[in-house]
Amino acid sequence: MSADLPAARRTDLDLLRILVCGAVILAHALLIFAAEPRYHVKSAAPWGLATVAYEAMRIATLAIFFTLAGWSAVASLRRRPAGRYVRDRLARVLLPLVAGILLLGPVIKWIELGQGRDLRIGGFRLVAPPNYGFLEFLPRYLTRLNLMTWSHLWFLAYLFLISLALLPLLRWLARRVPAEAMPGRAWGYAPALLLAGLVAGTGAIGLSCRT
């Protein structure tokens, strides 16, 4: 494809992104009532239906988001050099992550601590709510790494690191001529087989039965 010609817009993938974004918003609302304890605000009593729906959306949406990101990366590298691609990732992924940590993080962390909860990279713990106001908390947040949070923007950090780590593979895929043949339907079930093997191999079925 010529670098001077714009790529055709995949409106079907745009629609898929919109649907997945809606599912993510719904999943986070359900998480308040789900049995998963690691969240900023939790209901006093879990709801079984919310637990099942949240887990299903969590598994499906993350896989679709990162798959679409990989497809978009290859399509981007077919139209621009690797250096420009990296600069684009810096502007579109890393910059929003930093802005979110500084602008949204303090509010989210304040609400979280006010609920007696503390989510960090090292894990989740229950804490005593702060006995001071938000204006006093704000400078502490901005000067203490152990208080800073990327919260719901964690996937941007992972996406940026994965994009850089897999850049050689993505460039190799971008140089290949796209296949025009449609893969067989059986390939659509391959991820399900891999997921079933992962669940069985890690003992997740037995763990879910015990809990």
pLDDT tens, residue by residue, 114-130: 989 898 877 888 899 99
- Every domain of the chain and the residues it spans: 11-178
State the Cα–Cα distance between residues 57 and 22, nearest whole angstrom. Answer: 10
> CB neighbours of 159 closer than 8 A, spacing ≥ 6?
66, 69, 93
State the Cα–Cα distance between residues 40 and 107, nearest whole angstrom. Answer: 11
pLDDT tens, per residue, the chain with 211 residues: 444 445 577 888 889 999 999 999 999 999 999 988 888 888 888 898 999 899 888 888 888 889 899 999 999 999 999 999 999 999 999 999 999 999 999 999 999 999 898 988 778 888 999 999 999 999 999 999 888 999 889 999 999 999 999 999 999 999 988 777 777 777 777 777 877 777 677 654 444 444 4
Residue with tokens 């993510």: 24
State the Cα–Cα distance between residues 140 and 98, nearest whole angstrom. Answer: 17
pLDDT at 7: 59
State the Cα–Cα distance between residues 147 and 19, nearest whole angstrom. Answer: 33
**Phi and psi of 109, rounded to 5°?**
-65, -35
pLDDT at 211: 45
State the Cα–Cα distance between residues 132 and 119, nearest whole angstrom. Answer: 19
Structure tokens at 58: 């969590």
pLDDT at 202: 67
pLDDT tens, residue by residue, 105-117: 999 999 999 989 8
State the Cα–Cα distance between residues 131 and 122, nearest whole angstrom. Answer: 24
Nearest to 62 by CA among 154, 168, 183: 154
Burial of 141 (0-12, 13-18, 19+ CB in 10 A): buried
State the Cα–Cα distance between residues 147 and 41, nearest whole angstrom. Answer: 17
Structure tokens at 80: 């621009």
pLDDT at 184: 78
pLDDT at 203: 59
